[in-house]
Amino acid sequence: MKKNLKILYFTLFSALMSTGCEHLKPLQVDEETDQLSLADFPSAETCAECHPNHYQEWRGSAHAYAAIDPVFLEMQKLGQEETGQKLGQFCIQCHSPVSSKLGLTPPGYKNEDLPAFALEGVNCIGCHAISKIKENKNAELEYDPRTAIRGPIADPVQNNFHRSVYDDNFKQSLICGACHNVVNGVGVTIEDTFGEWQRSPAREIGQKCTDCHMPAYRGKAAVNGPEREVHRHFFVGVDVALIDFPDRRRQSEMVTALLQSAAALEVEAPSQTKAGDYLPISVNVTSKTAGHHLPSGAVADRQMWLEVTLTDKGSGQIIYQSGHLDANGDLMDRHSELQPSADQDLIQWHQKMAGANGNDVFFSWQAFDQRTQTIPPLETVSLSYDQLLPAQLTGPLQLKVKLRFRTFPPFLLRKLNLDELAAQLPIVDMAQWEGTISTQ
């Protein structure tokens, strides 16, 4: 059978060459050397011809953004500077895994000096040539692009460019977990999405990363293939490209929809009150995400928080507020430069990192410890915003509550000299509630 395939492969290859498709040199084992080189790893552009849908979706995804992401680049640069380049391949091993393994990205490399392949980040071959997953962290992966392209199809139609084989890894979450768990050089867990999933209700019912992030649909796996069950390659999460990037608008719409599906907000307050009274307000935030915590991943960077505003509508006076921004766009916790710690009630979900002396640090290579406050899958967090109302009120009162999300706090982007990105950072309202309380 194997021999027959080889013959078929060769026949098709010859046919291809004779029909003028010389630009596609088939992937094959080079008997002469075991050393892999860039020539063994085709670019995503090569795959586009036969897999146009997969390519189109991937090219607007965070995986295609991973090596040109300006925040990533500035952060990595700072990390190399601060550690005297001891960070080495740590960051790029996940953000452009094949190039890192091929030695194309020495510490201090500049994007303008790299081949286009390296800028493709987590590209097609970066997943589909994975031959071994050694650990569920830090891209501990082995690649073998020469023998076959691996994937989830048990009965692939063979083609003249690559041999296709079924590989069970593509039906497991571990292939995602190899990169979606980040442990820094001193053993501190920085990102734990795969770990959270292992303890999640989703896993208990057999739901994997791909079930939510690569939904199935009927379509073609390749232009010349049959119709079958295939999978989206948008990899929607929370990131929206902050630079010019393919399909930004669609990405932003999909991110907003995902975030708005991820949580529910429930507010309890009396419908009537009066001046000088005690007004009980309770807010319940429920995660609807069964797959991991909310938020998850790069939680030291993410901000998810509650904005609460109680207004005397008659006079326009704000009676109470929390979760509002200072003039720099920052939350008024202790990191606000303009009004530090002005918002004592602020509720936010994120990760705090601590340095060797327990001091606040903001970057993963500086962390000796971390504390993560995020919402476990499907759990509810209850908060109270009870108020003692002023002695004078015009009424009625208006109560507004929002659950808000953004990928970075502006102060962090300013630390990376990315002030102009800080100014255009979108905030997504994941859920909101509004009600009126009449006054006697």
Among 100, 105, 256, 296, binds ligand HEC (CB under 6 A): 296
403 near ligand HEC (CB under 6 A): no
Q: Give the DSSP per-residue string, 361-393.
A: E-SGGG-SEEEEE-BPTT-EEEEE--EE--S--
Among 13, 80, 118, 126, binds ligand HEC (CB under 6 A): 126
Among 9, 40, 60, 62, binds ligand HEC (CB under 6 A): 62
Encoded tokens for 340: 């530090």
Task: Output the smallest distance, CB 373 to ligand HEC, in A.
Answer: 13
Q: From residue 228 to residue 247, what is the string marking binding to ligand HEC with x (rule CB under 6 A)?
A: x-xx-x-xxxxx--------
Task: Output the smallest distance, CB 370 to ligand HEC, in A.
Answer: 14
Among 209, 399, 422, 437, binds ligand HEC (CB under 6 A): 209
422 near ligand HEC (CB under 6 A): no
First and final CA of the chain: distance in angstroms?
86
- Residues 240, 80: Cα–Cα separation, whole Å: 25
Among 102, 118, 222, 418, binds ligand HEC (CB under 6 A): 222
Q: Give the DSSP per-residue string, 321-362.
A: EES-B-TTS-BSSTT-SSSTT--TT--EEEEEEE-TTS-EE-
Among 9, 40, 69, 411, binds ligand HEC (CB under 6 A): 69
Among 13, 90, 117, 143, binds ligand HEC (CB under 6 A): 90
Q: Indicate the residue among 207 and 339 with the shorter CB distance to ligand HEC.
A: 207
Task: Output the smallest distance, CB 296 to ligand HEC, in A.
Answer: 4
Q: Which residue is nearest to ligand HEC (CB)?
A: 297
**Segment contacting ligand HEC (CB under 6 A): 111-119, 257-265, 308-316, 328-336?**
257-265
Encoded tokens for 181: 């768990």
**Segment contacting ligand HEC (CB under 6 A): 1-9, 49-57, 305-313, 431-439?**
49-57
**Binders of ligand HEC in range 136-155 (CB under 6 A):** 137-139, 149, 151-153
**Binders of ligand HEC in range 104-123 (CB under 6 A):** 122
187 near ligand HEC (CB under 6 A): no
Contact 407, 425 (CB under 8 A): yes
Q: Exposed e or buried b for every residue in 154-171, given b needs 16+ CB within 10 A? A: eebeebbbbbbeebebbe
409 near ligand HEC (CB under 6 A): no
- From the list 103, 109, 101, the residue with the least C-alpha distance to 126 is 101
Task: Output the smallest distance, CB 85 to ligand HEC, in A.
Answer: 12
Task: Output the smallest distance, CB 232 to ligand HEC, in A.
Answer: 8
Count the neighbouring beta carbons within 10 Å of the beta carbon of residue 334: 11
Q: Indicate the residue among 196 and 333 with the shorter CB distance to ligand HEC.
A: 196
State residue 6 phi and psi, 5-degree precision. Answer: -60, -40
User: What is the CB-side half-sphere exposure of residue 61 using CA atoms within 13 A?
Assistant: 24
331 near ligand HEC (CB under 6 A): no
- Reduce the DSSP state of residue 148 to 3 states and report it: coil
349 near ligand HEC (CB under 6 A): no
CA distances (Å), 388 to each of 28, 266, 279, in order?
Answer: 75, 21, 6
Residue 50 amino acid letter: C
68 near ligand HEC (CB under 6 A): no
Task: Output the smallest distance, CB 45 to ligand HEC, in A.
Answer: 9
Q: What is the DSSP letter of 168?
A: G
**Binders of ligand HEC in range 359-378 (CB under 6 A):** 364-365
Count the neighbouring beta carbons within 10 Å of the beta carbon of residue 430: 22
194 near ligand HEC (CB under 6 A): yes
Q: Assess whether the previous peptide bond of 396 is cis (omega < 30° from 0).
A: yes
